Chains A and B, each alone.
Chain A
């Protein structure tokens, strides 16, 4: 019995931290969700183009330096003005590039981080109030799974709620604007502009800052996801649209256009939520379209004189149908 187990006692004075942040489970690296990784092949032409641009840029740079030197020899004041001007431009350009790369990296990292520890994700969210709340509720005895669940249900769902509110507000606005806009081109511009604003707003809620390229990537991903939407999602959407099929027959053309624009905006918004969310929806239900329609309609009602077709036209349509039968 020499090898029997015994309790090991430690000195109480030894410094020890309260356990709360880490569990010793091996980190599971889940495969990236399929809908996020749609790889793009950069063509041969792109590569040549990049080489050309690099050459041209370096030539321009050398040219500029030479020019500045020449001017300096002619006139010191004018030369230094040129130098400062070029310097500022180059600096701004470089910092823009660095910032863009950094932001894009952050977005990509976010897509990869979809299975990281709640504590890390919480920092990425950049919501001090939620951090405080997490400190309040978290229990030292939780396992990794429990932590994940609580993080999603108690913390992330709040951000989701905010994002859903944003979506419903912006899509309602888009719907109203499209409904009252006089021509089609303006419709398109409005939808683009509203969507752009909404996406930045949602991304911000989830702690994702968007630069130009990050934005482009996000847009591309959003459209790719909508194009490659899974069967279930299509079914869910169809369901939502079926609900409205009966409604659409009653809507006036204007209201119908508005509703369509609103729904599209909302759809984009939900995609952005999924892309910016630090973890996929597990215990929390995905936000849906049902309540949204109500919001959209009430918004439309407030801006349009008549949302529904007038009773007369409807009655006429009904009579025509009867005749056909």
Chain B
């Protein structure tokens, strides 16, 4: 019986996909960019769409053609369900907090039922359905994606360049010393043992980088191994030295790297990233500004690398991996609730500047794309003091109500003087109760309209 049901589900999926009634939304973002919050926000707004006035830009709702949305079982039964209820409990519970950072892949499906208005469907059908799949996964793993297109030597060269950057060279110095001493005693018999030790050290180095909030950490499974904890598949590292690798090591490192590509990354993308047809790229611009120049540059590099793998040219490996291609991209600057509304425009501009190259490519390939500044769940209220200062009321880590003067956002790439001054943005925590549903958001309706609107006409 259950096999029959599964078959039924999958057939329906194929039919929906064939009729373009199925959107698989790729919520792409590095760890900490706010993927979980955004997905929760989207679900919250969709499920309560008819009870709220918060979605003026979502046309299907505004024109009162939305019958409703509900959560549905996904046809991919091997993937755990996105814990929407858990996330809401976290946000509205006794001691509200942000949902924990994602440690594994999960998926959730929403079915949107609406009254079509245009086209043949508008004349023939009373109601229509659209299936929306949302997939949450650890952002760390996303950075494996660019590795698919790089050979071991190319990757090593890239990492060598990266290791010269400030902060990274400090953190890496210990590991580099170890590599240098180990090279001198490299031998065929002890190679396995030596590589394992160096890989463990490399992993420790990556973890340190992560603590210092660096972003471009590859391979992603070393930072967050998931089920691969302690597996020999992770016993490799990029070759950091300019001198050639010892013969005994080179063979093993390349082999492990290839194994990792073929047996860890490829299945991951084939399993989850297949059939994506819309993409939301989340970028936490404010956090990067606060962390300083190096982080900002690294974020830019990471997005660059990421979007290259998602690109739509002929050489894209992913296009071969998944036959449907992404036909619409939303670039989203998240956490817009920690700045004043007057600065949203600047934030959008800044993200536009950061992603200039990718946007040009998208433009060239005629992929529609747009830049937004959004907060999946808005945790601050905008107020104005009697002297005209705009302030943000929110809850801080100690769960006290604080009032912060709204910080400024640069609308051009920060200069050296700007970096010396640095940027700092408040970090608010959720303070909702169960009665606050649907939770407030910033500009999710515009994002939803952009991503789904053309399918809900």
Contacts and interface: CB of A to CB of B under 8 A. Distances in A.
B228 interface: no
Contacts of B393: 12, 16
B226 interface: no
A16 B384 contact: yes
B341 A140 contact: yes
A10 B407 contact: no
A7 B423 contact: no
B403 A19 contact: no
Nearest to B342: A24
A140 B336 CA distance: 13
Contacts of B442: 139, 141
B358 to A, nearest CB: 24
A14 B385 contact: yes
Contact of A23 (B342, B404, B425, B443): B342
Contact of B62 (A1, A4, A19, A154): A154
B382 to A, nearest CB: 4
A7 B405 contact: yes
B54 interface: yes
A154 B393 CA distance: 29
A18 B424 contact: no
Most buried by B among A23, A24, A141, A154: A141
Contacts of B389: 10
B426 A16 contact: no
A11 B403 contact: yes
Contact of A143 (B54, B341, B383, B401): B341
Contacts of A154: 56, 62
B216 to A, nearest CB: 26
B345 interface: yes
Interface string A1-23: 10111111111101111110001
Interface residues of B, number: 36
Interface in A75-125: none
B422 A5 contact: yes
B401 A8 contact: no
B402 interface: yes
B287 to A, nearest CB: 15
Contacts of A141: 336, 341, 344, 378, 382, 442-443
Interface string B293-336: 00000000000000000000000000000000000000000001
Interface residues of A, number: 29
A49 interface: no
A136 interface: yes
A25 B389 CA distance: 14
A267 interface: no
A154 B383 CA distance: 25
B92 to A, nearest CB: 21
B420 interface: yes
Interface string A231-274: 00000000000000000000000000000000000000000000
A6 B424 contact: yes
Interface string B426-455: 100000000000000011000000000000
B424 A7 contact: yes
Contacts of A139: 54, 56, 442
Contact of A140 (B56, B382, B424, B425): B382
A142 interface: yes
Contacts of A4: 420-422, 424
B390 interface: yes
A113 to B, nearest CB: 23
25 contacts: A1-B422, A5-B407, A5-B421, A5-B423, A6-B424, A8-B405, A9-B405, A10-B389, A10-B404, A12-B401, A16-B383, A16-B385, A18-B383, A18-B384, A19-B341, A19-B382, A19-B384, A19-B390, A23-B341, A25-B342, A137-B53, A140-B382, A141-B382, A143-B345, A154-B62
Given A5-B422, A7-B426, 15 more contacts: A3-B420, A5-B424, A7-B424, A8-B405, A9-B404, A14-B403, A15-B385, A18-B381, A18-B383, A19-B382, A137-B56, A139-B54, A140-B381, A143-B342, A150-B56
Pick the 5 closest A-B CB pairs, nearest first: A16-B383, A8-B405, A10-B403, A141-B341, A19-B382
Interface of A: 1, 3-12, 14-19, 23-25, 136-137, 139-143, 150, 154
Interface of B: 53-54, 56-57, 62, 336, 341-342, 344-345, 378, 381-386, 389-391, 393, 401-405, 407, 420-426, 442-443
